[in-house]
Chain A
Amino acid sequence: MKKRLASENLAGYAFISPFIIGFMAFTIIPMAVSLYLSFTSYDLFSTPVWVGLDNFKEMFTGDEKFWQSLKVTFTYVFAGVPLRLIFALIVAMLLNKASRAVGLYRTLFYLPSIIGGSVAVAIMWRNIFGNEGTLNALLFFFGIDKKILWYQDPTKALWTLIFLAIWQFGSSMLIFLAGLKNIPPSYHEAANVDGANRFQVFFKITLPLLSPIIFFNLVMQTISAFMTFTPAYIITKGEGGPLDGTLLYSLYIFQKAFNFFQMGYASAMAWVLLVIVGILTLILFKTSKFWVHYESKED
């Protein structure tokens, strides 16, 4: 028994060795340094000065923008991620057929994701929601004389970012497609033979078999939503306005680190985020037992 375990260990480590090497070489030291920095005041040019817990104290008690950015980011994540996943799943199911047009459709729906964080997209997006933009022009076209001023209201401005995230559901859709394709048609056919209707097939067969993928998307989208930076940066020109309505957490970190040269404080903020995201991810993992089903039936 012991012999087998030893060879298992060796094999395991052999396979994940690239990760460990890379982690040691490129990640662990920067992470350790950034942890250290979060207890210092560091302006990038002089040596860091130890300040203990001051950064954290300042963050939690003296910094309203910190709470504002948390609020903005949480809204963004909890509104954007579910909506995005739902759209992605619906469209993936629509495109899960073997028809020639489908390949084309898939590409078309995926296109928004591809142009993702590029400057062109951000500019175009601002333009659509602008006061003189396309959306208002459309309203006008339909005879509605009222303009929606997306950028005057902090909440509305945030929703333009959420819409952007949802619009780029293509990447999640792709993963769902891959997952759907992995479900053998025989299952569906067998269910059909047994007289199951569409909904039953979906809920009893498709969803459970897809659950590992849904879980994956949920975790990944949540984590990356918390990290969102580039679209917000370009669309708001790095300001997070109006009135900090779009001040996503990572945008605020960036401001602190590179505009105000407060690298220590920014590092502290980053670690706080890591803890928050870590806890959320842990919750997701722990609760996955109840709804995620793996075919390999391992524990």
Chain B
Amino acid sequence: MKKFGIIALSFILLFSLAACSSSGKETSGGKDDKITLRVAWWGGQPRHDYTMKVIEMYEKAHPNIEIEAEFANFDDYWKKLAPMAAANQLPDIIQMDTAYLSQYGEKGQLEDLTKYTEDGTIDVSSIDENTISGGKIGDNLYGFNLGSNVLSVITNDDMLTDSGVELNDEAWTWDQFVQMATDVQKSTDKYGTNGMNPADVFFPYYLRTQGERFYNEAGNGLAYKDDQLFVDYFNMQLDLVDAKAFPTPDVQAQVKGLEDDFIVKGNAAMTWNWSNQYLGFAQLTDSPLSLNLPPEQADNTALFLKPSMYFSVPKSSEHKEEAAKFIDFFVNDVEANKLIKGDRGVPVSSKVMEAIKPELTEEETKIFEYVEMASQNASKADPPDPLGSAEVMKALKDVSEQILFKKITPDAGAKTFRTKAEEILARNK
């Protein structure tokens, strides 16, 4: 009888749950005119914490706006977002990544923010056009850049000194890089460099140093025509693998996180990363680290400012103007950025950047200065990855693995990759 009671009770509970329908969103025009904005982002614990504070700041300044925060880590975020898009349930402001911008933008999910930059809702007076253009696909501004990153080679200076290696980051060449990595290995028996991972970041960079590009302008094929470039790049890596100066893919894959990374554990003297990752590394090791320009960046102005992430507004949002206002606050408000402190990339507004510099720690300042310096030598960034890029990246990763595990030669790999990539890109156009 008791059992029955429990079951009956839970059924009653259930029906009462089902009976009270979910409270609908308050739309403007109601009695108290409150607007609810949903903001979604990915990140780690520190980011969730400070972003909540920024949101509170905004709500205080705008009492008629209520913000519902939705956050998750990177993987879960995209798993959530796709069904939301399919069901037309996207939040009003979504954090966006270059890898997905085309997918969401070109398939009509995102609003073109150009009009908000033109009518002043988003103040772009202290923001370089170059940094904004990173969020454009064609003429449509689908994502507003929140901060810039630059490619870098982060070095463990103790290991370099111990190996008698001197690095001149303004003028060093790829060959010198190989030499240095090998020297470090000979002298310390550790890797000279990390696995230049992922391949889809650093191979395109290599192409830029040779005056080429990875994707063509139309986004329906590869830009570089000469497979020798592919072969040269991977031969370089193979040579380093043979010299034991470069980790094989399985060793690279076993790195679980920053605290496990080669540069932190003293297992590699150089690591290829984005500038913002410097902070994490520096906090985890006592060895002196420095940010260096990657090789051969000068001749073809291979460097570029990469938008680290964007805020986008879905077409389905009912409060686009308010959303744009929030974005404006996020990138231009100095007090807010004192909390953000460049966690989402070096701020795009020069005014903000100057204002928060005094608040930064030594390590954070290094990043800012590095990006500033690099921007003097930078050219226009590649447009956001075209449709199908996720598959192309996977194909490149697969080929790269096969080459580094010595299952195929770089020549064969070059051809295989080209065929696959062209097929994928053509199919998606």
Residues of A at the B interface (CB closer than 8 Å) are: 43-46, 123, 126-127, 130-132, 149, 151-152, 237-239, 241-244, 255, 258-261
Contact = CB atoms under 8 A, between A and B. Distances in A.
Interface stretch (B24-32, B370-378, B399-407): B399-407
B398 A244 contact: yes
Interface in B396-423: 397-398, 401-402, 405, 407
Contact of B390 (A151, A241, A259): A259
Interface residues of A, dominant DSSP: loop
Q: What 7 A-B pairs have minimum CB-CB distances, sorted nearest first?
A: A45-B107, A152-B250, A151-B250, A44-B86, A260-B391, A130-B254, A259-B390
Interface size of B as a range: 20 to 34
B249 A259 contact: no
Contacts of A126: 254, 256
Contacts of B109: 45
A139 B211 CA distance: 50
Interface of B: 75, 78-79, 82-83, 85-86, 103-104, 107-109, 248-251, 253-254, 256, 388, 390-391, 394, 397-398, 401-402, 405, 407
Contact of A152 (B78, B83, B248, B397): B248
A259 B385 CA distance: 14
Nearest to B256: A123
Contacts of A127: 256
Contacts of B254: 126, 130-132, 151
Contact of B401 (A44, A237, A243, A259): A243
Chain A CB within 10 Å — which of B250, B251, B256 has the most?
B250
Contact of A44 (B85, B256, B390, B398): B85
Nearest to A129: B254
18 contacts: A43-B107, A44-B85, A45-B103, A123-B256, A130-B254, A131-B251, A132-B254, A149-B250, A151-B250, A151-B253, A237-B253, A238-B75, A241-B250, A241-B401, A243-B407, A260-B388, A260-B390, A260-B394
A243 B400 CA distance: 10
Nearest to A154: B405
Contacts of A242: 249-250, 253, 401, 405
B253 A44 contact: no
A44 B254 CA distance: 33
B79 A243 contact: no
Contacts of A244: 398
Nearest to B254: A130
Given A44-B82, A45-B86, A258-B79, 15 more contacts: A44-B85, A45-B109, A46-B107, A123-B256, A126-B254, A131-B250, A152-B248, A241-B249, A241-B250, A242-B401, A243-B402, A243-B407, A255-B394, A259-B390, A260-B388
